[in-house]
Every structure is written in structure tokens, then in C-alpha cells.
């Protein structure tokens, strides 16, 4: 009898424990009774305050702590705010973030959660769920963020969600060349060796590939040339086979920001992959494949294997290869590997129907990192947290965080120093020694380093002239062919119900389209006999509904 | 009641593990109801709205359901069957080796691959199967004379690639339990058999092998419970557009949806997980019943 | 000791050895590759020049591993979790498996079902986290050990071992001698369980050494991170940055360089401890453990 009573008590105790465990973990907001300094003045508070923050350990960093990280020290000394760090390793930061949200156990701030860099919908959802605190009331005259708004009113429009609130603090960075990321690289010495001009149309491109294959441009007497090769989906930044080539037929933004292959025509959402032009593009690629100009590895190899193909052989073997930058196609981190230096870009090609475009990241610099600081409802002092984040926008602080200590890691330059910047104009500063280790927060925090002011103004590294090449190639060859900014879908938020549906549809559609691109090109599916089945399957998966949902979101955000 | 009193010492031993199981496995089961609710973070589990089987139906009705469950089942079953004989064979081989040095080396070398992390393992597989330069590809081309062989592009062999690389990696480790059992076999049985004139092979068949069967059966039953739970990492790394028909499994599908999802949908993956578990339970019960019918050691 | 072999036996032994060698070769190649890659110049590895033997031999990788602060901390932490965890787990597993193996244990079937049910169904990651948190175990070393201390799989395997290798007569004999359950277990069963204790020790040691998910869930403090968490971070870092916009070429180059440098050396170094344990475990796989147990 006694035993049974004991067991019951234990069960009751455990159940009680369990129930409390499952109760909501969000705290109530305390009263704001901190006195903050005037915007633009430091320290932010007289008595040392403490905030907790979730951050990601990445790159060469090993610690965020005050004693070990010099930038943490800089910030704490300046603002008089101590940070308790909740750290996740980069590889698993996303899982950790989701877990923290799900458990209701959030810190005061989230700094740059993974995979939320451009996810306005998730911010909306978190705001709706009562996880995030609205910030618009703190963005007053004198704060850095207001200054940013004054300069970029478009940003304010983007960040303000349909419910009128702003929940996130973005970073303004980016790079000029990232506006048009879908580049195709060609090994220039081979063009010269064979006396060929840079191709401008798809037909010319095919002829060049043919020449590469047949005329032994590497001069070793072996037919070992690989005219065109790419890497598989989900491996490699813009180094998939269709990204560049399809753009000569119809708009094809398959980058991670886009991955939607859609355009706006007169305000109507139009997808690309069910159109006759898409089929023509596939036909062209199939032609390349059948002629043996496109290596079969293009659908199955990883980006590392791709780079090995380019760098590995003692004689260059690869003729053309798509990639977002030189580092996508070759190892730039190795000092004695200079093969990448001989690759230049091919301009977007004109297709047989006269179409010529390239995927366009219209709001580069504004929307590539919109959630670099989120303040939660667990925070007792949201305005302090906002001001703390705002501090990071201070140009000196931003510079210190990203470029290091002046005089040690970088130096400022005069107009007449004679050193050229990435954009071809006189450079504003030059990197002396790359900051590494615990001297920053690895760029995962709000920064105000708009690319036109900073990234483009740094002196190029003469040993590794990657940036200036990218700038010039993008400027001269790619930007002339981007579509109208109005036709590009803006960054927008879905309603929570729509978001779930869109997620599942998008995953399946993307998977299927990618799968069929491969199968059509290889010949596993027939472009004539199986095309209708392909269209039917798209509808089965729910293409119509998908477009409907997107249209609704576009209309709501306009 | 008297029996319980008599066995109090056994209960004493059993108490701590039981407590751990209850606290850390059963208590959280309370939260499995996430699958039946529309979990709202701010409300907590108990206050979130109850939606019954909505998430389950969504999964069953989704376009991907058939393919994804079929692939998972297929790969699992294949792996299950393929991985039964090899650890046993290896253990018998090791046990019958006379030279101590060779035996230890064999054990050590086969044990090592288990520790190769998934990322590296996938990288090695892709390297070995690379169309032009992969060693395995070149070997096959040499034997069959086939040109332009791209194994990873062929969705019909994906399952084999996955399963046999698993066998390669895990057999050594999985054979350890069998080696341990063989070492506890009563040597007097062997001595008696030798006296009766039995050959080595006969001794293995009649003494060693039967000693392994109970454990092999139990392991088989236990593995059945995990039938729909293939981890996503290795498959994700080996997937590509051409083999997706065979390589999209439940966990990679859920992973991708989670990635794409802007909404906080914890209930959906939870429901799918519960479904996988339910299927696993059915499988275990089935195989367990068969095993007990055949007179073998069973789980319950 | 068996003396002369018959011809049949000699044939079999030779065949057996042949099979063994085949297995050895098949398994060894990728292992040799990893070892060679770890001793090669990283850029040669990334360029795909390493096939079997090291190319441009160098210790750069290893040096970088030992200089990496978080790697060494991770090593230490993993070591702690391994030692403490294995001790606790093996004990708990034996304490659970033995009663379950006894046919006269009241509620045997019920408890077995109770345990095995948890292998198939679980509350899920989030509820488990909530429970652990309610016990105040977040950011503690205990969180790395307690939640997964009892591996039901191992309990079942141990149970099977007990029920098939401890003869019923032994128990009866000890009863006649007036031994209690405790005595029987500690003084007789355990000493005869060398192999299973060794196997459990190995399984748990490996599990604790490889674990990272618990750390991911329950630890926010980098000082407590186990090695696998750090290892994954380094290994996956080049996969991660694929879709991030290029901010700083030099920084990317540095990251990629670090990744290449550490990758294979790190794999070798992180595997060495668990590989080193094995010979000690092997000692317990000695035949004749049961000899003498049935005498008298």
C-alpha cells in the first residue's frame, strides 16, 4: 500500500514538473527605467547594464567573450553594456535557433540568425507570434538608423511589414559584383590560341566550345579538353549549368536569393519554367550535351570536385565553367595556384530569339542581410538593445568590426595616393593585414558599410586582383543586360498561413524543376514526347496555387 | 506480492536506470502532442490549438508522400538485409584466424571506418565514383568496357551506393558484439567436437554460429523499429538532380521544407516523426512475432 | 591447444585467411587515403593530387590542429564526457539488463516493453529540451550525460548476453549456497561478463566521443563544447558559405585555407582516442571465460 502511495506521489510530482516545463517560457517585459544617453553619444547608460545575445561562432573566431575578443572589448567599453553570449557553432546554428524559438527560452537579442538573411516572412511570423519586439518607435532623429533611412527610403519600405511594424535591423554591405552573380568564365588563353573572339550569342558560344573540343587549344596533342562543366544543385555558388545558359532564353534566377525563376510583368507574377522559351533553352543545353561539349559530371559532382577539374591537371583542361566568382571555379586560397587568373567572363549571350538577360539582385547592399539584429520580447530594455545595435552602424565602429584596427589592419589613403580602388577610382583605404581570430564578430551583426562607400573603395590586392576584375566584368559585361528593376520581385513577407503552403510547394517545385532540367538535358526525358507530362506534373504539385499565393503577397506588399 | 518482496534486490538494481528512462524519455512524451496541435511558440504546448490529424493528413495527401516513403522503406529494407550477414561473417573469420597479430590487425582496420565522419565519407564516395577519375568507375570501365559511366547520375543504383557504403563503413564495428559472444563460447564444446572428429567448418556451423543467432535476431528486430528513420546527412550529400527519384527520403524532404519554411512549423515535422515511429512499431511487432513463432529469442 | 590439423581444416584456414586479406585491402584503401591526405600539403589535397601516398609531405595540418584553441578545449571536454559518461552508462546498463534477463523478475515483460517503447517513440527534440531545462541542466556537463545515459539498445544486447551465457544452473547452485541476488550479481555474474562489459564500454565510449547533438541542444557556453561540435563546424564551414554573398575575398580565402588545412588532420586526430581504446577492449575477448564456472 505504502509503495503505491509513494508511486502516486512521485507521478504527481513528475507530472507537475512536466507541466511547468511545458509552460510558456517568454518573460514579461519589465518597465523601462533606464536612462539612456542622447543618440550619438556614449556610453549608452551610466551604470553598467547587461543584455543577453545569441550569436554564431564562425570563420576563424573562437570566442565572443570580453577577455578574449578585442571587438567585444571595444563595444563594451564604448557603450557600457555587458553582453552575455549564447553561442552556437555555425554548422548547427540554424537548428539551435529553431530550438530556442520553439522552447520559448530566448535571449534579449538574436544576432544574424542563419538562413534568415533575406527571410522577411519569418520575421513577420516571429513578430506575430510575439517573439520579437517592434522597433519603429526607437528609430528617432539622431540615431544612425534614421540617417540610413534618410539616405535609402526604399529600405524603410522593405523593412516595414504589412502590419506596419519593423522588427529587424539590417546590414548595409554587399558587393558591387553581386548584383549580377550568374557569371560564365572562359579560359582566355585558349581563345587567343585559336584566334577566336569572345562569343556574344548562343550559337557563337557553341562554336567556341566545339573549337575547344576539336582543335586542342592546350597544345598537348591529346583530346583531353573539357569545353564546359558545372557542379550539381546545392553545391557551389552559381556554378550550376542552367544558371547562365538559360538566361539567353528566359529569365532564370536560380540563386539562393531568388531560386524562384519568376518575373513581374505589369505587376503579374510570371514563372519561367513552364514556358516554351524554357523548353528552347533546354533544347540548346541538350544540344551541347549530345555533342559532347558538356561534361556529364555537371549534374553530379560537388563544387570541390569542380575546382579539382579546373586546377588539378598540370595542363588546363576546362574551357568554360559557370561560377559566381573566381573562387567558385578554382582555389584562390592557394598562393601558387594562378590558373584562375586566366579566366575572364563571358557576357550574357543573346539567344536565337534575341533574348538576352542575366539574374539581377536589384536591392544589392540593402536587402542581403535584413535580420542582423532582432530584439525579443524577453528583453527588459528594448530601447537600450536598439541603441546598442545602432552603435554598430557608427562608421568607425563598423570599420573596426570588419576591417580591423586602423594602422594595423588597414590604412586610410589620400586622393592622390595613386592607388586604385576596386571600382577603378582612387581608393579610400587599403588592407594591410587581414584581421583574423577574435578581433571581430565575423560580420554577423548590423553594419553600415554600404558597398559603394567601402567595398568598392578598397585598394585591390595586387597579388590577388579578384575584386577589381569582378567589378569591371560586372560593370562592363553584365549590368547592361539586367532586366528592369520593376520586373524583379521585391523582398516581401507572406502571411503565416500562406508561408507554410508556399514552403512546401516551393520545395517540391524547385526539386522537380531541377530534376527535370537534368533529365531533359541528358535525354532521360524527351523534350517533345514528355513535355506535356512535365507541365501536368507541375500542375499536380500545385504550380497554379503557388503563383496565386505569390501574387497575393505581391499585391499586399505594393 | 510476495514475489516482488523476494526480488527487492533486483528492483534496487533496476531503480536508477528506470528513473532515467522515465525522466528523460517518458516525461517528454507529453510533448509529442505537438503533432496534434498547431504549436504556437508564445502559447506553449498545452495552450496551442488542437487540430487532430491535420498535419498527418497533409503529409499523406502531399505529392511527395508516395515517393518519399517508398524510397525510405526501400533503402531501409535493403540496408537491413544487406547488413545481416557481413558482421557475422567477419566475426567468424576473425575468430577462426589463428595468427594473433593478423587477427588484431583485421579487427582494428575494419573497426576504423566507423569513425569517418559523414561529410568525409560522402566526399570519398563521390571521389571513388567520379566519372573520369574515380577508381571504382575506372575499375568497372576496365571490366565492362562501358564508356561515359556516371554512377551517381543513375537513380537505379543510388540505393546500392548508399547501402554498400554503409556496409563497408559499419560492418567492422557491428561485428564487435559477435566477436565478444564468440569469445564467451565454452571451449569445452569445441574440445568435445574435435574429439568427435569435427572439422573447423563443422565446428563453426554447429557451435559458433548458433551462439550468434539470438543476438542477430534481436538486433534485426531492433533495427526494424528504425525502418523509416534514415538520417538525412549522408543522403543529402549524395543527392543530385539525376538520382533524386530514388534519393529523396523522408528526412531530407522534411529538412528541405524546414529550410524553405518561413513559418515556424514545428508541428509538421513532429507529425511526420510520429508517423515514422508508428510504422517502426508495427514492423518491430511483426518481426518479433515471427521470431517468437520460429522459436527464436524475441524482444517481449 | 589443438595440435595437428586435418587437410580439410588447413584448406579452410587458408581460405579464411584469404577472405581476411581481401577484407583488409578493401577496407584499408580509404583509410590510407585519409592518413596520407592528413600528412600532405593541403593545397595538393584540394587539387585532387593525393591518391595513395602523401604528396608534398608536411605537418602543417597537425600543427594547425594543435594550435587551434577550440579544438584542444573540445578534446578535453570530450574526454571528460567520455570517461564520466561511460562509467555511468555501463553501470546503469548492467543494472538494467541483469534483472531483465532473470525469468523470475516480476514485471519482466512489462519493463522490457516500457524500455523498448522509448526506442521507437520519443517526445521529440523540443519537449526533451524543455524537460532538461526544467531540471536546470542547461549549460551543464550533466546535460551531456544524463539524458542519454541509458541506451536501451545496449540494455537489450546486454540482456541477451546474460540470458544466453549465464546458465540457469549457476543461479540455482548459488541459491542452494544461500547467496542473495546482490551477491550473485556482483560476485559471480559480473566477473563472467568480461566480454559484454568490454563491449558496452566500447559502445558507450564511442557514443560519448561522437556525440554532438546533445551539445547542440543543451550547451550555450563554448567552454563546454565537445570536440565533434568544433569538428563539424570546421568541416562544414566550406559547405556553409556557398550561398553567402562575397564580402571579403581575402577573408573567404583565409577560411577556405583553414578548412583545407585542418580537415584531414582533424579527422585523424579526433579518431585516434577511440581507435586507441580498442586494443584494451580486445583483451577481454579472450576465450575460456566460462571455464571453471560449472565446476562443482
Give the minimum alpha-carbon distance from A467 to chain C in angstroms, rounded to a whole number: 7
Same domain for A197 and A340, yes or no, is yes
Chain C residues whose beta carbon lies within 8 Å of the beta carbon of residue B117: 231-232, 235, 267
Give which of C258, C272, C290 is closest to C67, Cα–Cα: C258
Nearest Cα of chain B lies from the Cα of C249 at a distance, in angstroms, of 25
pLDDT at A24: 42
Residue B122 lies in a domain: no
A59 assigned to some structural domain:
yes
> Are A332 and C229 inside 8 Å of each other by CB?
no
Q: Is residue A207 domain-resident? A: yes
Q: What is the pLDDT confidence band of residue C191, given thresholds at 50, 70 and 90? A: confident
Q: Is the pLDDT of residue A290 over 50?
A: yes
Of B97, B107, B188, which is closest to C16 when you measure between CB atoms? Answer: B97
Mean pLDDT in residue range A492-507: 82
- Selecting from B42, B63, B257 the residue whose C-beta is nearest the C-beta of A540 gives B63
Q: Per the structure block, which three cell numbers stand in for C267?
A: 579527422
Give yes or no for residue A544 having a pLDDT over 60: yes
Q: Report pTM.
A: 0.86
Cα A389 from Cα A369, distance rounded (Å)? 14
Distance, CA of A192 to CA of C68 (rounded, Å): 46
What is the torsion angle, in degrees rounded to the nearest 10, for the CA atoms of residue A261, residue A266, residue A269 and residue A270? -50
CA distance A46 to A104: 31
Residue C290 in this model has a pLDDT that exceeds 70: no
Confidence (pLDDT) at B6: 82
Q: What is the Cα–Cα distance from C174 to C188, expressed in whole angstroms?
A: 9
Q: Using a CB–CB cutoff of 8 Å, tell me whether B148 touches chain A.
A: yes
How large is the average pLDDT for residues C228-247?
Answer: 66
Q: What average pLDDT does chain A have?
A: 87
Residues 6+ apart with CB under 8 A from A333: A327, C43, C252, C253, C254, C256, C257, C260
By the 8 A CB rule, do A347 and A7 touch? Answer: no
Residue of chain C minimizing CA distance to A450? C247
Alpha-helical runs (H) found in A80-187:
93-103, 120-128, 144-151, 153-159
Contact residues, chain B, for C130 at CB < 8 Å: 28, 31
Q: ∠ at Cα A340 (A339, A342), nearest 5°?
A: 80
pLDDT in the model for residue A212: 95
**Does residue A355 lie in a domain region?**
yes
Q: Could you report the per-residue pLDDT of B278-296, keeping only the tens digit for each?
A: 898 898 888 888 888 887 7
Q: Is residue B121 part of a domain?
A: no
CATH of the domain at A167: 3.40.190.10
pLDDT of residue A31: 44
Of C47, C68, C217, the CB nearest to A312: C47
Residue C261 has pLDDT above 80, yes or no: no
pLDDT at A270: 93
Q: What angle do CA B171, B177, B178 make, to 5 degrees?
A: 80
ω into A111 cis (within 30 of 0): no
The DSSP call for residue A177 is: G
**Closest by CA position to A502, among listed A555, A557, A552, A537:** A552
Give me the pLDDT at residue A33, please: 66
At residue A212, φ and ψ (nearest 5 deg) are: -60, -40
Tens digits of per-residue pLDDT, C158-175? 998 898 888 888 888 888
Q: pLDDT tens-digit profile of B240-259?
A: 889 998 999 998 888 887 76
Q: A393 phi and psi, to 5 degrees?
A: -80, -15
Closest-CA residue of C relative to B32 is C123
- Provide the shortest C-alpha distance from residue B31 to chain A (in Å): 8
The pLDDT value recorded for residue A551 is 93
Q: Which three cell numbers stand for residue A384?
A: 537600450
CB spacing of A302 vs B126 below 8 angstroms: yes
Write the CA distances from B109 to A466, C37, C232, C276, integer angstroms. 45, 18, 24, 12
Residues of B in contact with C138 (CB under 8 A): none
Q: pLDDT at residue A344 above 90?
A: yes
**pLDDT values of chain B reduced to their tens digit, one per residue, 300 residues:** 777 888 888 899 999 999 999 999 999 998 888 889 888 777 777 888 898 889 999 899 888 899 999 999 999 999 999 989 999 999 998 888 878 888 888 888 888 888 888 888 888 899 889 888 888 888 888 888 877 788 898 889 999 999 999 999 999 889 988 988 888 888 888 888 888 888 888 888 888 888 898 889 888 888 888 888 888 889 988 998 899 989 999 988 888 877 666 666 788 888 888 898 889 889 888 888 888 888 776 777
Mark whether A263 and A122 lie in a shared domain: no
Sequence ranges of the domains in chain C: 11-58, 65-282
Pick the more confident residue, A28 or A326. Answer: A326
Residue A355 is part of which domain span? 181-359+488-557
Answer whether residue A115 shows pLDDT above 60.
Answer: yes
**Cα–Cα distance between A115 and A392 in angstroms, integer?**
21
**Confidence band of C193 (pLDDT split at 50, 70, 90):** confident
pLDDT at A202: 95
Q: Strands A318-323 and A183-187, how do they pair?
A: antiparallel
Beta-bridge mates of residue A57: A89
Please tell me whether residues A189 and A278 are part of one structural domain: yes
Q: What torsion, rounded to 10 degrees, do the Cα atoms A102, A105, A110, A112 define?
A: -30
Q: Are residues A137 and A212 in the same domain?
A: no
The answer on A189 and A166 residing in a single domain is no
Higher-confidence residue: A387 or C287? A387
Cβ within 8 Å, pair A466-C249: yes
Q: How far apart are CA C56 and CA C58, in angstroms?
A: 6
How many domains does chain B divide into? 1
A119 shares its domain with A185: no
Enumerate the H helices of A23-51 as residue ranges: none
pLDDT over 60 at C242, yes or no: no
- What confidence category does residue C296 fall into, taking pLDDT thresholds of 50, 70 and 90? very low
ipTM above 0.90, yes or no: no
Average pLDDT for chain C:
83
* Residue B32, domain member (yes or no): no
Question: What was the pLDDT predicted at C295?
Answer: 36
Could A92 and C212 be called an inter-chain contact, meaning their C-beta atoms sit closer than 8 Å? yes
Question: In chain A, how many domains are there?
Answer: 2
Measured torsion, CA atoms of residues B229, B234, B239, B245, in degrees rounded to the nearest 10: -20
Q: Nearest-CA residue of chain A relative to B147?
A: A296
- How many angstroms separate the CA atoms of B118 and C280, rounded? 26
Inter-chain touch B21–C279, beta carbons under 8 Å: no
Residue carrying the nine cell digits 519586439: A133
Element (H, E) at C87: helix C69-101
What the block records as the C-alpha cell of B66 is: 508516395
Q: Does residue A335 share a domain with residue A388?
A: no
Query: Does a structural domain hold residue B94?
Result: yes
Residue A328 scores a pLDDT above 50 = yes
CATH of the domain at B75: 1.10.3720.10
Span A154-159, mean pLDDT?
88
pLDDT over 60 (residue C104): yes
- Are the beta carbons of C47 and A308 closer than 8 angstroms? yes
B196-224 pLDDT, tens digit per residue, is 888 888 888 888 888 898 889 888 888 88
Size of interface A-C (CB pairs under 8 A): 152
Q: Which of residues 50-109 of C touch A (CB under 8 A)?
A: 68-70
Q: What is the pLDDT of residue B70?
A: 93
Q: Would residue A425 count as lying in a domain?
A: no
On whether residue A297 sits in a domain, the answer given is yes
Of C241, C16, C147, A162, residue with least CA distance to B204 = C16
Statement to judge: residues A292 and A328 lie in one domain? yes
A245 shares its domain with A164: no
Residue A15 pLDDT grade (very low, low, confident, very high; cuts 50, 70, 90): very low
Which helix (H) or strand (E) covers residue A268, if one does? Answer: strand A268-271
pLDDT for res A11: 44
CB interface of B with A, residues 179-238, below 8 Å: none
Residue range A41-61: mean pLDDT, rounded = 87
User: Which of A17, A243, A503, A549 best tests the B interface by mutation, with the highest count of B CBs <10 A?
Assistant: A503
Range of the domain at B189: 53-113+170-293
Residues of chain A found within 8 Å of residue B62, distances taken between Cβ atoms: 504, 508
For domain C65-282, give the fold: MetI-like fold (1.10.3720)
Whether residue B195 is contained in a domain is answered as yes
Q: Is residue A384 predicted with pLDDT exceeding 90?
A: yes
Separation CA A437–CA A387 (nearest Å): 27
A424's torsion region: left (phi>0), alpha (psi -120 to 50) or beta?
Answer: left
Chain C contact set for B181 (CB, 8 A) = 161, 164-165, 195
C70 → chain A, closest CA residue: A62
Same domain, A292 and A378: no
- Residue A452 falls inside a structural domain: no
Question: How far is the C-alpha of A24 from the C-alpha of B46, rounded, in Å?
Answer: 9
Which pLDDT band holds residue C286 (cuts at 50, 70, 90)?
A: low
In a domain, A77, yes or no: yes
How confident is the model at residue B298, as a pLDDT?
A: 72
Question: Is B102 a member of any domain?
Answer: yes
Note whether residue B97 is domain-resident: yes
Phi-psi bin for C35: left (phi > 0), alpha (psi -120 to 50), beta?
A: alpha
DSSP string for B158-215: HHHHHHHHHHHHHHHHHHHHHHHHHHTS-HHHHHHHHHTT--HHHHIIIIIHHHHHHH
Cβ <8 Å between B17 and C165: no
| Subunit contact B181:C195, Cβ cutoff 8 A | yes
Nearest residue of chain B to residue A297 (CA atoms): B131
Mean pLDDT, range A462-479, rounded to an integer: 90
Q: Looking at the complex, report in whole angstroms how far the Cα of residue A308 sits from the nearest Cα belonging to chain C.
A: 5
Q: Please check whether residue A328 is in contact with residue A237, taking contact to mean a CB–CB distance below 8 angstroms.
A: yes
- Regarding whether A338 and A194 lie in a shared domain, the answer is yes
- Which CA distances in Å does B2 have to A430, B7, B8, C176? 86, 9, 10, 20
Amino acid at each position: 500500500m505504502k509503495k503505491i502511495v509513494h508511486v502516486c506521489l512521485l507521478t504527481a510530482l513528475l507530472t507537475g514538473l512536466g507541466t511547468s516545463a511545458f509552460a510558456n517560457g517568454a518573460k514579461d517585459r519589465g518597465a523601462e527605467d533606464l536612462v539612456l544617453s542622447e543618440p550619438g553619444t556614449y556610453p549608452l547608460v551610466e551604470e553598467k547594464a547587461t543584455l543577453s545575445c545569441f550569436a554564431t561562432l564562425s570563420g576563424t573566431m573562437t570566442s565572443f567573450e570580453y577577455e578574449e575578443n578585442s571587438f567585444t572589448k571595444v563595444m563594451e567599453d564604448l557603450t557600457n553594456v555587458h553582453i552575455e553570449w549564447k553561442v552556437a557553432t555555425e554548422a548547427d546554428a540554424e537548428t539551435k535557433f529553431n530550438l530556442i524559438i520553439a522552447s520559448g527560452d530566448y535571449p534579449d537579442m538574436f544576432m544574424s540568425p542563419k538562413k534568415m538573411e533575406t527571410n522577411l516572412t519569418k520575421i513577420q511570423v516571429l513578430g506575430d507570434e510575439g517573439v520579437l519586439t517592434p522597433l519603429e518607435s526607437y528609430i528617432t532623429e539622431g540615431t544612425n538608423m534614421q540617417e540610413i533611412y534618410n539616405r535609402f527610403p526604399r529600405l524603410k519600405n522593405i523593412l516595414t511589414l504589412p502590419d506596419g511594424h519593423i522588427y529587424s535591423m539590417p546590414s548595409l554591405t554587399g558587393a558591387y559584383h553581386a548584383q549580377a552573380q550568374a557569371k560564365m568564365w572562359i579560359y582566355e588563353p585558349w581563345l587567343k590560341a585559336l584566334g577566336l573572339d569572345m562569343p556574344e550569342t548562343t550559337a557563337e558560344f557553341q562554336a567556341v566550345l566545339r573549337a575547344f573540343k576539336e582543335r586542342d587549344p592546350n597544345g598537348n596533342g591529346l583530346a583531353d579538353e573539357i569545353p564546359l562543366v558545372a557542379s550539381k544543385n546545392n553545391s557551389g555558388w552559381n556554378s550550376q549549368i542552367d544558371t547562365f545558359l538559360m538566361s539567353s532564353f528566359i529569365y532564370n534566377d536560380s540563386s539562393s536569393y531568388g531560386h524562384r525563376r519568376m518575373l513581374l510583368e505589369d505587376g503579374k507574377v510570371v514563372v519561367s519554367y513552364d514556358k516554351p522559351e524554357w523548353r528552347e533553352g533546354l533544347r540548346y543545353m541538350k544540344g551541347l550535351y549530345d555533342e559532347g561539349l558538356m561534361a556529364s559530371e555537371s549534374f553530379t559532382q560537388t563544387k570541390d570536385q569542380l575546382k579539382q577539374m579546373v586546377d588539378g591537371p598540370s595542363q588546363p583542361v576546362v574551357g568554360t565553367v559557370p561560377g559566381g566568382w573566381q573562387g567558385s571555379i578554382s582555389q584562390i586560397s592557394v598562393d601558387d595556384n594562378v590558373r584562375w587568373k586566366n579566366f575572364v567572363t563571358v557576357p550574357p549571350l543573346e539567344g536565337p530569339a534575341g533574348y538576352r538577360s542575366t539574374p539581377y539582385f536589384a536591392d544589392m547592399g540593402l536587402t542581403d542581410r535584413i535580420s542582423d539584429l532582432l530584439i525579443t520580447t524577453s528583453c527588459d530594455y528594448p530601447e537600450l538593445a536598439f541603441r546598442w545595435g545602432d552603435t554598430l552602424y557608427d562608421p568607425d565602429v563598423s570599420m573596426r568590426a570588419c576591417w580591423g584596427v586602423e594602422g594595423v589592419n588597414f590604412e586610410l589613403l589620400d586622393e592622390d595616393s595613386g592607388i586604385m580602388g576596386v571600382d577603378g577610382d582612387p581608393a579610400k583605404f587599403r588592407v594591410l593585414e587581414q584581421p583574423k581570430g577574435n578581433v571581430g564578430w565575423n560580420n554577423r551583426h548590423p553594419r553600415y558599410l554600404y558597398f559603394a562607400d567601402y567595398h568598392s573603395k578598397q585598394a585591390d590586392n595586387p597579388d590577388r586582383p579578384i575584386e577589381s576584375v569582378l567589378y569591371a566584368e560586372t560593370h562592363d559585361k553584365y549590368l547592361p543586360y539586367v532586366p528592369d528593376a520593376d520586373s524583379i520581385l521585391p523582398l516581401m513577407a507572406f502571411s503565416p498561413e500562406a508561408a507554410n503552403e508556399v514552403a512546401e510547394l516551393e520545395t517540391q517545385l524547385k526539386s522537380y524543376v531541377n530534376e527535370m532540367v537534368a533529365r531533359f538535358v541528358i535525354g532521360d526525358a524527351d523534350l517533345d514526347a514528355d513535355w506535356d507530362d512535365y507541365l501536368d506534373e507541375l500542375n499536380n504539385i500545385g504550380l497554379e496555387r503557388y503563383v496565386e499565393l505569390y501574387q497575393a503577397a505581391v499585391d499586399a506588399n505594393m | 506480492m510476495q514475489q516482488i518482496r523476494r526480488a527487492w534486490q533486483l528492483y534496487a538494481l533496476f531503480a536508477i536506470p528506470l528513473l532515467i528512462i522515465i525522466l528523460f524519455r517518458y516525461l517528454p512524451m507529453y510533448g509529442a502532442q505537438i503533432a496534434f496541435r498547431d504549436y504556437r511558440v508564445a502559447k506553449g504546448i498545452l495552450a496551442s490549438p488542437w487540430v487532430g490529424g491535420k498535419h498527418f493528413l497533409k503529409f499523406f495527401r502531399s505529392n511527395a508522400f508516395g515517393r518519399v516513403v517508398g524510397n525510405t522503406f526501400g533503402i531501409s529494407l535493403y540496408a537491413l538485409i544487406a547488413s545481416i550477414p557481413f558482421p557475422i561473417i567477419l566475426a567468424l573469420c576473425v575468430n577462426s584466424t589463428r595468427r594473433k597479430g593478423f587477427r588484431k590487425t583485421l579487427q582494428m582496420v575494419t573497426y576504423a571506418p566507423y569513425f569517418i565522419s559523414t561529410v568525409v565519407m560522402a566526399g570519398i564516395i563521390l571521389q571513388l565514383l567520379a566519372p573520369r577519375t574515380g577508381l571504382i568507375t575506372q575499375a568497372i570501365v576496365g571490366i565492362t568496357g562501358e564508356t561515359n559511366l556516371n554512377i551517381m547520375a543513375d537513380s537505379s543504383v543510388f540505393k546500392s551506393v548508399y547501402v554498400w557504403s554503409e556496409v563497408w563503413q559499419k560492418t567492422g564495428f557491428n561485428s564487435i558484439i559477435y566477436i565478444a559472444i564468440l569469445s564467451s563460447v565454452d571451449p569445452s564444446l569445441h574440445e568435445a567436437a574435435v574429439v568427435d572428429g569435427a572439422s573447423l567448418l563443422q565446428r563453426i556451423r554447429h557451435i559458433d554460429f548458433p551462439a550468434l543467432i539470438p543476438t542477430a535476431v534481436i538486433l534485426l528486430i531492433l533495427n526494424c523499429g528504425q525502418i523509416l528513420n534514415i538520417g538525412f546527412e549522408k543522403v543529402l550529400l549524395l543527392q543530385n538532380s539525376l538520382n533524386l527519384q530514388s534519393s529523396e527520403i523522408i528526412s531530407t524532404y522534411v529538412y528541405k521544407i524546414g529550410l524553405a519554411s518561413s513559418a515556424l512549423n514545428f508541428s509538421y515535422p513532429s507529425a511526420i516523426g510520429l508517423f515514422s515511429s508508428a510504422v517502426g512499431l508495427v514492423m518491430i511487432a511483426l518481426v518479433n512475432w515471427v521470431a517468437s513463432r520460429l522459436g527464436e529469442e524475441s524482444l517481449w | 591447444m589443438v595440435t595437428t590439423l586435418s587437410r580439410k581444416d588447413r584448406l579452410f584456414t587458408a581460405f579464411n585467411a584469404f577472405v581476411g586479406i581481401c577484407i583488409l585491402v578493401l577496407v584499408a584503401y580509404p583509410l590510407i587515403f585519409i592518413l596520407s591526405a592528413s600528412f600532405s600539403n593541403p593545397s595538393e589535397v584540394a587539387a585532387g593530387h593525393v591518391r595513395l601516398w602523401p604528396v608534398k609531405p608536411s605537418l602543417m595540418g597537425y600543427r594547425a590542429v594543435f594550435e587551434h584553441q577550440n579544438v584542444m578545449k573540445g578534446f578535453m571536454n570530450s574526454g571528460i564526457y567520455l570517461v564520466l559518461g561511460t562509467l555511468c552508462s555501463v553501470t546503469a546498463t548492467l543494472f538494467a539488463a541483469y534483472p531483465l534477463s532473470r525469468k523470475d523478475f516480476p514485471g519482466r515483460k512489462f519493463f522490457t516493453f516500457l524500455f523498448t517503447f522509448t526506442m521507437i517513440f520519443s517526445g521529440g527534440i523540443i519537449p526533451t529540451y524543455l524537460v532538461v531545462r526544467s531540471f536546470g541542466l542547461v549549460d551543464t556537463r550533466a546535460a551531456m550525460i544524463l539524458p542519454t545515459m541509458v541506451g536501451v539498445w545496449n540494455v537489450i544486447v546486454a540482456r541477451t548476453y546474460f540470458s544466453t551465457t549465464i546458465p540457469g544452473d549457476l543461479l540455482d547452485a548459488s541459491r542452494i549456497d544461500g547467496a542473495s541476488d546482490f551477491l550473485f550479481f556482483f560476485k559471480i555474474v559480473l566477473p563472467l561478463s568480461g566480454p559484454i562489459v568490454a563491449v558496452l564500454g566500447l559502445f558507450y565510449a564511442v557514443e560519448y566521443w561522437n556525440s554532438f547533438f546533445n551539445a547542440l541542444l543543451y550547451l550555450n557556453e563554448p567552454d563546454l563544447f565537445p570536440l565533434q561540435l568544433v569538428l563539424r563546424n570546421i568541416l562544414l564551414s566550406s559547405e556553409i558559405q556557398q550561398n553567402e554573398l562575397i564580402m571579403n575575398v581575402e577573408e573567404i580565402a583565409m577560411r577556405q585555407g583553414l578548412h583545407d588545412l585542418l580537415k584531414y588532420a582533424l579527422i585523424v586526430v579526433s579518431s585516434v582516442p577511440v581507435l586507441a581504446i580498442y586494443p584494451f577492449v580486445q583483451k577481454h575477448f579472450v576465450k575460456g571465460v566460462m571455464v571453471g564456472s560449472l565446476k562443482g
